[in-house]
Amino acid sequence: MPRPVTITNRVFPTSSEVAFAAAELFASTVAAAVEERGLARVAISGGSTPKVVFALLADPAQPFLASIPWAKLQLFWVDERCVAPTEPDSNYRMTNEQMLSKVPLPAENIHRMEGELDPEVAAARYESDIRNTFKLEGAETPTFDLILLGMGDDGHTASLFPHTEGLDAIAPIVIANHVPQKDTWRISLTWPVINQGREVAFLIEGAAKADVLHAVFTGPYQPETYPSQLIRPASGRLTLLLDAGAASKLPAGDTIRLS
């Protein structure tokens, strides 16, 4: 049975305001984690909204670049396409162009998924990297301070697509997931790992996402059809950062409670 969760529904008039709110969440969560535990571990996603977020974080005209304790941030990815880091489709390439090449984040703190390798090899190497960085023992699960997610028109999140084998993966931290509908492989964190995040947030914009958001957060529990329904953090909290178009078919109010 899915665990109960309270969703904080933050709706903004424009996509640029969504991106600014996400940058604020990134910066404040990193600062709080460093204050409490001495370092911050964040897992990020690709996509058009994160692209703007990363540009904001690296912009010297914005308040984030100078305020984030970059040396104490460990940056990871939620998922990656099986391409080289120089390819246009690479989530790493986009992040590097928008942010990494412009901020004082030490190279050893950047943990990219090696999409150019065989998918199973890349997944195993990334799981090993996470285990070593978090100093995990046995079946321990990593706890990221912040996980930023997107959602596709089909209800997928990370690289957990509808009716794919990755939805059944519970024990691994990282998987290679074959996506028949796209005739490709992806590398992804598993949903139990995402649910261990201290803060988990979806960044979603555009009226084209309104129907799927309504189905995911107000419809029956069908995670094989809508994998985003698997995201119910152990903290009992989930944040949605949405523009008005994406939120147009959700119930009015600042919270949604899922039982």
For 49-64, the pLDDT digits (tens) are 999 999 999 999 999 9
Beta strands in 25-173 (DSSP E): 40-44, 73-77, 79-81, 146-149
Backbone φ and ψ for 146, nearest 5 degrees, come out as -150, 135
Q: What kind and span of H or E run contains 241? A: strand 237-243
Q: Report the CATH fold assignment for 9-141+156-240.
A: Rossmann fold (3.40.50)
Q: Could you tell me which of 177, 161, 81, 192 has the C-alpha nearest to residue 120?
A: 177
The 10 Å CB-count burial string (b at 16+, else e) for 181-217 is eeebbbbbbbbebbbbbbbbbbbbbeeebbebbebbb
Structure tokens at 81: 């396409």
For the chain, the structural domain boundaries read 9-141+156-240
pLDDT given for residue 178 in this prediction: 98
Q: Given strand 79-81, what is the order of strands in its sheet?
A: 79-81, 184-189, 174-179
Distance CA 226, CA 224 (A): 6
For 80-134, the pLDDT digits (tens) are 999 999 999 999 999 999 999 999 999 999 999 999 999 999 999 999 999 999 9
Q: Would you place residue 2 in the very low, low, confident or very high pLDDT band (cuts 50, 70, 90)?
A: confident
Distance CA 258, CA 160 (A): 21
Across the range 55-79, mean pLDDT stands at 98
Q: Would you place residue 1 in the very low, low, confident or very high pLDDT band (cuts 50, 70, 90)?
A: confident
pLDDT given for residue 175 in this prediction: 98
Q: What is the DSSP string of 20-39?
A: HHHHHHHHHHHHHHHHHHS-
For 31-54, the pLDDT digits (tens) are 999 999 999 999 999 999 999 999
Structure tokens at 225: 């059809």
